[in-house]
A and B are shown apart, each in its own frame.
Chain A
Amino acid sequence: MKTTLRFTLLSVTSVLILAGCGSDDDDEVMMPDPPVPEPVVMTYEVTITNLTAAQPLSPVAVMLTAEQQYWQVGMPASDALALLAEGGDNSELVNAGGVLAASDSGMPVGPGDSASVTVSVDDAEGVWLTVATMLVNTNDGFTGITGYDLNTLTIGDSVSMSVMVYDAGTEANTEAAGTIPGPADGGEGVSAGREEADSVFVHGGVVSQEDGLASSVLDQSHRFDNPAVKLSVTRVE
């Protein structure tokens, strides 16, 4: 679809240049400058809806990127991802290599709430989407999608999906006081070091005090299941 769009725009540009030549009385044969296509601006609106009972989402990062995945089950999390997954801080991830344009929701997104983030990119060779946010009442749980191909989405098209929760594998899920940055605890965000296995996996859920982990600062309301969020993506330009 992208190819078709480009072709159309180039054709329009050529017509304009030809019209310009037609009204030009200069006798010299001049080669026109190669046509410079109008920059193609691609703008996407991403809406995230928090489907959990009591897991606020950290400010949701929305990144338009080159073809790249910012996490993969079975691979170690990057430091930038660990920062987001343990502390809700997306500042490194949105500046990671391959990011063409990024924005975030500015505010946390509470249970039952939605937030929309609009991001634009000019003249990209191709656009892939990464959305990432921490479930803040966890040790290192995050959700989102990465490396999602937007190139078949034409203007006005929407796609929606339910996504699962991942564990960054960078901090043990102790649920202990002082280890969880969300309102359930108010503990520290990023901790030093990695877990032994040090790889991203699909989160097994939180246990909570009521369900058998006496040392947990979490209660039954902080439990979650998949899917934890709904994402919808619309290409608006």
Chain B
Amino acid sequence: MKHYAYLLGAATLAASHLHAAELTVEVQNLTGGIHFTPLLITAHPDGSQLFEVGEMASAELQSMAEGGDIAPLAALADSLNADSVTNPAGGLLGPTATTSAMLSTADDNVRLSLVAMLLPTNDGFVALNGWKIPSEPGIYTAYLNAYDAGTEANDEIRGSGMPGQAGMPVPPPLEDLVGTGGSGVTATTTNAMIHIHPGNLGDAMPDGGNSDISNTVQRWLNPVAKVTVTVAE
């Protein structure tokens, strides 16, 4: 896609020298029926990352992906002297909603990452992973995919947001949007590594069937988010 090419080009332009930057990071939920839990937006040093696709999720990432808890990942970022913003939307970021955050980055923090859990899912999350912050001032756009942490079976029924416990957390704003009484889509995880999320299955029964997810409303196709980063002069 054009924007990916643009980003790659911009990344090439950015020399390897270190630089502080003033960033505005705008995040839009592009989906029609998925909520994002509070976002962690962090600028961190080269050589560090929040996760790697194809590798196992850290305990910190698992907490975010299964329960929306970004505190462990934020603490990890702090330990790297990262510059972070947490929860810019002040709660859930609903379908098509936009939030933005200002971020002043230290010289060493040249990589930008962003994560949030997707609701309703078991361990789905949206992410920007270690994007090289351009030294050239300008407006940069990226479209983000949905990932599966690989840490929990996608049973698609109400349950727990605690790491390692089955089921989906259903915080109050989603109470009426998530079904009940599903028997569970699956009890197994077929890929325990972080991978591209296969998407919600859902069903057409709000009070039964095998899923508590609505198949006509709470499915998505990638991309699920648009990020617009403004690098100030």
A interface residues with partner B (beta carbon < 8 Å): 73-74, 159, 161-162, 164-165, 167, 169, 172-175, 197, 199-205, 207, 211-215, 225-227
10 A-B pairs with C-beta separation under 8 A: A159-B2, A161-B2, A173-B216, A199-B95, A200-B96, A201-B30, A202-B223, A213-B216, A215-B204, A226-B221
Report how far A199 CA is from B97 CA in the complex, Å.
10
Q: Flag whether B231 is at the interface (Cβ < 8 A).
A: no
List residues of chain B with CB within 8 A of the CB of A172: 216
Residue in A161, A164, A202 whose Cβ sees the most chain B Cβ within 10 Å: A202
20 more A-B contacts (CB under 8 A) besides A74-B98, A202-B32? A74-B96, A74-B97, A159-B2, A161-B2, A169-B32, A173-B217, A199-B96, A201-B95, A202-B220, A202-B221, A202-B223, A204-B31, A205-B220, A207-B216, A211-B215, A212-B203, A214-B204, A226-B221, A226-B223, A227-B1
CB distance from A74 to the nearest CB of B (A): 4
Interface residues of chain B, those whose CB is within 8 Å of chain A, are 1-2, 28, 30-33, 95-98, 199, 201-204, 215-224, 226
Residue in B closest to A204 when the chains form the complex, CB atoms: B219
B57 to chain A, nearest CB (A): 25
**How many residue pairs at the A-B interface have CB separations less than 8 Å?**
76
Interface centre among A172, A174, A203 (most CB of B within 10 A): A203
B32 CB, min distance to chain A CBs, angstroms = 4
A204 and B96 form a contact (CB under 8 A): no
On whether the beta carbons of B204 and A201 are closer than 8 Å, the reply is no
Q: Provide the bound-state CA to CA distance between A213 and B28, in Å.
A: 29
Closest chain-A Cβ to B162's Cβ sits at a distance in Å of 28
| CB–CB A73/B30 < 8 A | yes
The residue on A at minimum CB distance from B226 is: A73
Q: A204-B220, A205-B221, A212-B203 are in contact. Are A73 and B28 (CB under 8 A)?
A: yes
Considering the chains assembled together, what is the distance between the CA atoms of A226 and B199 in angstroms?
Answer: 13
A164 touches B223 (CB 8 A): yes
Q: What is the bound-complex CA distance between A159 and B201, given in angstroms?
A: 36
